[in-house]
Amino acid sequence: MMRDEINKIKQSKVVDDLRNYIDSVQICAKYQKVITDDVLTLSKLEFDQVKLMPRVVDLVELVDMVVKMFMAQITKKQLQIKVNTPKQGVYFMADHNRISQVMINLLSNAVKFTNHGHIELHLNWNQSSSDKYLVECMVSDTGTGMSQQEQGQLFNRFEQVAQRANSEYGGSGL
């Protein structure tokens, strides 16, 4: 229903600046459903019942889409963003929703914890053997950073690395 309304707005005579915001809203609405589904299937993770849905994914396109989701926030915070991706697509078999979720979380944290300066996103891929490729995505920023001890807690479920994170920045630690 929300998507239909967004499409109606996009088809009307809209100023280009507003069209960019509408594009962001449309992308966010799409991934709101993905996030909702992820929360609903969290219990399946506990029992190793999450089913991956592999399909051909263009990682360059996915990165561009995720960056668009956050452009309004990046602009509002007056941050600079540099995206370094290959000119051609990087295609591979993956679960689009899961890869998107990871990219959204990485960029969301970069935006959330960076109050001034810049965010850089680099996407590289290299052939690691005759039939395998290594895809590397790096997000760096001038944000608050993490201590070595906090980095050790990074992959603990439902845990945030500092008490200040919940009160100052919000988030669930998912």
Assign residue 142 the CATH number of its domain.
3.30.565.10
86 and 4: one domain?
A: no
pLDDT tens-digit map of 43-56: 676 677 778 899 99
73 and 46: one domain?
A: no
Q: What pLDDT is recorded for position 56?
A: 96
63 and 112: one domain?
A: yes
Q: What is the mean pLDDT of the chain?
A: 81
- Residue of 35 and 113 predicted with greater confidence: 113
77 and 112: one domain?
A: yes
82: containing domain: 52-156
Q: Is residue 165 part of a domain?
A: no
43 and 85: one domain?
A: no
Gap between the Cα atoms of 135 and 139, Å rounded: 14
Q: Is residue 173 part of a domain?
A: no
Question: 55 and 98 in contact (C-beta within 8 Å)?
Answer: no
64 and 120: one domain?
A: yes
User: In residues, how long is the chain?
Assistant: 174
Gap between the Cα atoms of 68 and 33, Å rounded: 17
147 and 78: one domain?
A: yes
Region of 149 please: left (phi>0), alpha (psi -120 to 50) or beta: alpha
86 and 10: one domain?
A: no
Question: 41 and 79 in contact (C-beta within 8 Å)?
Answer: no
CA-nearest of 109, 95, 112 to 34 is 95
Q: Is residue 13 part of a domain?
A: yes
150 and 64: one domain?
A: yes
If you search the block for the tokens 């890869």, which residue do you land on?
99
84 and 123: one domain?
A: yes
Section 9-14 average pLDDT? 70
Q: Is residue 112 part of a domain?
A: yes
Q: Work out the pLDDT band at 168, boundaries 50, 70, 90.
A: low
CA-nearest of 26, 2, 22 to 12 is 22
Q: At 77, give phi and psi (nearest 5°).
A: -85, 0
Other CB atoms closer than 10 Å to residue 10's CB: what's the count?
A: 14
Question: 115 and 78 in contact (C-beta within 8 Å)?
Answer: no
Gap between the Cα atoms of 125 and 123, Å rounded: 7
Q: How many domains does the chain have?
A: 2
β-sheet with 132-141: strand ranges across: 80-84, 118-129, 132-141
pTM, rounded to two decimals? 0.71
95 and 66: one domain?
A: yes
